[in-house]
Amino acid sequence: MTDAPSYGFDTLSIHAGARPDPATGARQTPIYQTTAYVFRDADHAAALFNLQEVGYIYSRLTNPTVAVLQERIATLEGGVGAVCCSSGHAAQIMALFPLMAPGRNVVVSTRLYGGSITQFSQTIKRFGWSAKFVDFEDMEAVAAAIDEDTRAVFCESVANPGGYVTDLPAAAQVASDAGLPLIVDNTSATPYLCNPIAHGATLVVHSMTKYLTGNGTVTGGVVVDSGRFDWSASDKFPSLSQPEPAYHGLKFHETFGPLAFTFHGIAIGLRDLGMTLNPQAAHYTLMGIETLSLRMERHCENALKIAQWLENDDRIEAVTYAGLESSPYYDRAKALFPKGTGGLFTVALKGGYDACVELVGKLELFSHVANPGDTRSLIIHPASTTHRQLTEQQQIAAGAGPNVVRISIGIENAEDLIRDLDAALPR
């Protein structure tokens, strides 16, 4: 498709990156289930390996089905390029990898998906990296946490699961004042509801496992690059600005300009870390994205109805949905996410931990599962599951205290979901 930016979001969700298969005319993007690609001759092979020519070598690095998905998501997010990888968590490592080194740190929001809190507070230490957790409601504290060794600032657009909306323009300003990239996890919002790049983000990461695929069939992730960051403005990002020994001294930023981060992600990140998305998974995610806007509209509509119903029920202590007027983030959500704030929220029950366990056990339509962002409605009690590894203080900071359930509203009939909740909530 040419001249992509002139089309609307729904059109791009179906067409961006795709064209009829040049070999067969197949209208749907084929699943190129191949490990390798035949070189035309030795010169062609050498040019590909030297990054002098763009093409396909080996599916750990590039694959035509995955390439369509990369172009589609980059287009929907308003980025210049994207690198797909094997999970959302892989995407977070892939986003940080070119920026970090032993001794460096990333300043991250306390309001993150529980798995991300564990990844950042524990696992990245094995690489000699560290994370400084800060409440992003206090932007002065975010600025104050940045030191000489900080290489990125990280937050979620709408946080999973707390119904928290980050002030993205303010976070982008703090990062930019410090000469650092802002990385935004846009999983819970999707590009349909929010484009963090338009609010100043440098990189956007997604777990495609959730709304992008949309039906709980795939584990995948993606890093989208805005192409706007000047990696050579300081000496902080040598992997992108300095000669790369693994490519005969090639300088990624000088050579590839705004595509430096994307090329580095493929040529170094996927090549050497190997967190590659397989073409079958890319196919499922492409299918999912074709209906992204229709699904997100219904997710938002249902979520608002159900959040309003819950808020008025006397068994409920609080509902944290940024689409509710009672939410402290309502005005910010309206400004940043005018189409809605997605299908995820948390509910605090007056009956505490035990009532949460009973509710989760009794529901019939809602499934008790660890993922959000499915066509079907899902529920989980974070304190006894996803957020179990966290201290109670971390749980509360992440919006997942002991009396809280996280609900992911699907695209079923809202009345059916309300009836199910009404019957299962302990009296």
Binding site for ligand PLP (CB under 6 A): 87-89, 113, 115-116, 156, 160, 185, 187-188, 207, 209-210, 219, 221, 372
Nearest to 115 by CA among 195, 214, 205, 190: 205
Query: For ligand PLP, which is the closer residue by CB, 161 or 351?
Result: 161
Q: How far is the CB of 187 from ligand PLP (least distance, A)?
A: 4
Query: For ligand PLP, which is the closer residue by CB, 195 or 239?
Result: 195
Instruction: Please name the amino acid found at residue 222.
Output: V
Cα 175 to its chain centre, rounded Å, is: 19
Query: For ligand PLP, which is the closer residue by CB, 158 or 260?
Result: 158
Q: How far is the CB of 91 from ligand PLP (least distance, A)?
A: 7
Q: How many CB atoms sit inside 10 A of residue 77's CB?
A: 26
Query: For ligand PLP, which is the closer residue by CB, 88 or 200?
Result: 88
Whether the upstream peptide bond of residue 191 has omega within 30° of 0, thus cis, is no
Q: How far is the CB of 90 from ligand PLP (least distance, A)?
A: 7
Q: How far is the CB of 92 from ligand PLP (least distance, A)?
A: 7
Query: For ligand PLP, which is the closer residue by CB, 372 or 410?
Result: 372
Q: Report the residue closest to ligand PLP, judged by CB.
A: 88
In sequence order, the β-bridge partners of residue 406 are: 346, 380
Query: For ligand PLP, which is the closer residue by CB, 100 or 260?
Result: 100
CA–CA dist 156, 162 (Å, integer): 11
- DSSP per position, 289-317: HHTHHHHHHHHHHHHHHHHHHHHTSTTEE
User: From residue 235, how far is each of 174, 229, 231, 238, 246 by CA, in Å?
Assistant: 19, 13, 8, 6, 19
Query: For ligand PLP, which is the closer residue by CB, 64 or 221?
Result: 221
239, two tokens: 């992997």
Angle at 385 between CA 380 and CA 391, to 5 degrees: 120
Q: How far is the CB of 313 from ligand PLP (least distance, A)?
A: 26
CA–CA dist 376, 367 (Å, integer): 8
